[in-house]
Amino acid sequence: MKKEIKKEKILVVEDDETLQMVFQRALESKGYQVDLVEDGREALRLVSQNQYLMVFMDIIMPESSGLETLEKLKKIDPSLVVVIMTAENTMRNAIEAMRRGAYDYLSKPIDLEEIFLLVERAGNEADLRGKMRTYERELKERFEVGEIIGKSRKIQEIFKIIGKAAPTDLTVLIRGESGTGKELVARALHYNSPRVVFPFIAVNCAAIPKELLESELFGHEKGAFTGAVELKKGKFELAEKGTLFLDEIGDMDIGVQAKILRVLQEKEYHRIGGKETLRSDARIIAATNQDLKAAIKEKRFRDDLYHRLNVIYMELPPLRERKEDIPRLVEYFLQKSGGEMRSGPKMISQEALQILSNSQWPGNIRQLENTIKQCLALSSQDTIFPEHLPGHLRESTLETEGPRECEDGFPSEKQMEELLSRDNKGALYQTVIRQTEKKLISSLLHRCDWNQVKAADWLGINRNTLKRKMDELGIKKL
């Protein structure tokens, strides 16, 4: 069966029946759906209930003025395309209609070619607006929460601060260990702000030698120093009206800090070797993995700059403090990295996921992502098992969590010794029963394509009991 293509709708507001028929036949011949009404009241009702490509409306109508109706239509939908139709002796009204937001006007008698040209133009602009909305939506999907994944309380607090801080121009200071996602948060702040259409410029202050950092930030004039063979714009200039992200600002030279402070205070600066005063309208977001208060005591960071930056403060939690988010992060990185590496969709076993969830992750989210990439690159199977994980993760988990799960539900001699060495004399029995039950339920759920009703029926238990056991045993579908 051929899928029906949805037709664009056009509204014609005209009390002349002959002209109504002209519009209807002409536009329907081009594949448009046409609604006909005689007055502004009906037009307002239909526009509030439908989405129209455009509206053709006579400026003189019974019961209401076309200008009044135009204003009311634009309040309902500010982007609505309204074309005013007018006789020669009412051109002044047509000009007034354009001032009030009309898209264009047609003089009577109506020329069909003009109608078709206006409809084509409106259609092209509607397509462009649709593409822009898609682009903006993709940006938000990518940067709003994008790679900032998590349901934990700490990460939800970060989302709340982003939502409140993004629409403002206030400076933001982000603190967090390496790999916690400081730049992702900075991008989320930018891409959800009114500055989204302007540049986001990131500078890693720790990666640039201090003698070059000033030039990198403020630019230089030709001949300002040896090697300055041409004028160079700095990051402040490139980030004009956008956002400048100063990463690892705690490593910034104390002399450059003074110049950053001046920009924040006076909104102006000079290129190196230049006399022209340049204005700055870039929003500043800074980030560090250091304790800046300690750096102030050690005279490595300016106290006044700290207070200028610390208008809105965000502390990003390390991954070890939000371990409940690890399964979601793993699922996300499996999809993302699998697509980038063209390795196809892969799953992770509960045993491997348990090891990842119990690891300490000193490198935080970045380390977790790189681990997933390594597993995808080295594993030829559709599922990642513990043996595919880096050895140091398996070893550290054994040290902190005790023996790994028993193969086939029964412990090896070494695992038996480890279990018997525990103070809890029931540990051996409980461990074997728990792991056997977990393997049985996991295997059956896979066979039933995760249909819990079917799996519960096979096990001879009800679905609520199955769900409880899944929660107790940490069985989740990835």
> If you classify domain 403-478 with CATH, what class do you get?
mainly alpha
- Which residue has better confidence, 269 or 391? 269
Q: Is the pLDDT of residue 2 over 50?
A: no
Confidence band for 402, pLDDT divided at 50, 70 and 90: very low
Q: Is the pLDDT of residue 236 over 60?
A: yes
- Which has the minimum average pLDDT: 172-181, 240-249, 338-347, 370-379? 338-347
pLDDT of residue 44: 93
Mean pLDDT of 102-123: 87
List, for residues 129-176, the tens digit of each pLDDT value: 766 565 555 555 444 445 688 888 898 899 889 989 999 999 999 999
Confidence band for 86, pLDDT divided at 50, 70 and 90: confident
Confidence band for 60, pLDDT divided at 50, 70 and 90: confident
- Which residue has better confidence, 66 or 249? 249
Q: Is the pLDDT of residue 411 over 60?
A: no
Domains 151-317 and 320-401 belong to one CATH topology: no
- Which has the minimum average pLDDT: 83-92, 230-239, 370-379, 457-466? 83-92
Domain ranges, ordered by start, for the chain: 9-135, 151-317, 320-401, 403-478
Q: Is the pLDDT of residue 322 over 90?
A: yes
* CATH topology (fold) of 151-317: Rossmann fold (3.40.50)
> If you classify domain 9-135 with CATH, what class do you get?
alpha beta
Report the 3 state secondary structure along the chain. CCCCCCCCEEEEECCCHHHHHHHHHHHHCCCCEEEEECCHHHHHHHHHHCCCCEEEEECECCCCEHHHHHHHHHHHCCCCCEEEEECHHHHHHHHHHHHCCCCEEEECCCCHHHHHHHHHHHHHHHHHHHHHHHHHHHHHHHHCCCCCCCCCHHHHHHHHHHHHHCCCCCCEEEECCCCCCHHHHHHHHHHCCHHHHCCEEEEECCCCCHHHHHHHHHEECCCCCCCCCCCEECHHHHCCCCEEEEECHHHCCHHHHHHHHHHHHHCEECCECCCCCEECCCEEEEEECCCHHHHHHCCCCCHHHHHHHCCEEEECCCHHHCHHHHHHHHHHHHHHHHHHHCCCCCEECHHHHHHHHHCCCCCHHHHHHHHHHHHHHHCCCCEECHHHCCHHHHHHHHHHHCCCCCHHHCCCHHHHHHHHCCCCCCHHHHHHHHHHHHHHHHHHHHHCCCCHHHHHHHHCCCHHHHHHHHHHHCCCCC
pLDDT of residue 429: 66
Instruction: Tell me which of 1.10.1040.10, 2.102.10.10, 1.10.8.60, 3.90.1150.10 is the CATH number of domain 320-401.
Output: 1.10.8.60
List, for residues 269-300, the tens digit of each pLDDT value: 999 998 889 999 999 999 999 999 999 999 99
List, for residues 11-38, the tens digit of each pLDDT value: 999 988 999 999 999 999 999 999 999 9
pLDDT of residue 78: 85
- Which has the minimum average pLDDT: 69-73, 406-410, 418-422, 441-445? 406-410
Q: Is the pLDDT of residue 433 over 90?
A: no
List, for residues 181-202, the tens digit of each pLDDT value: 999 999 999 988 999 989 999 9
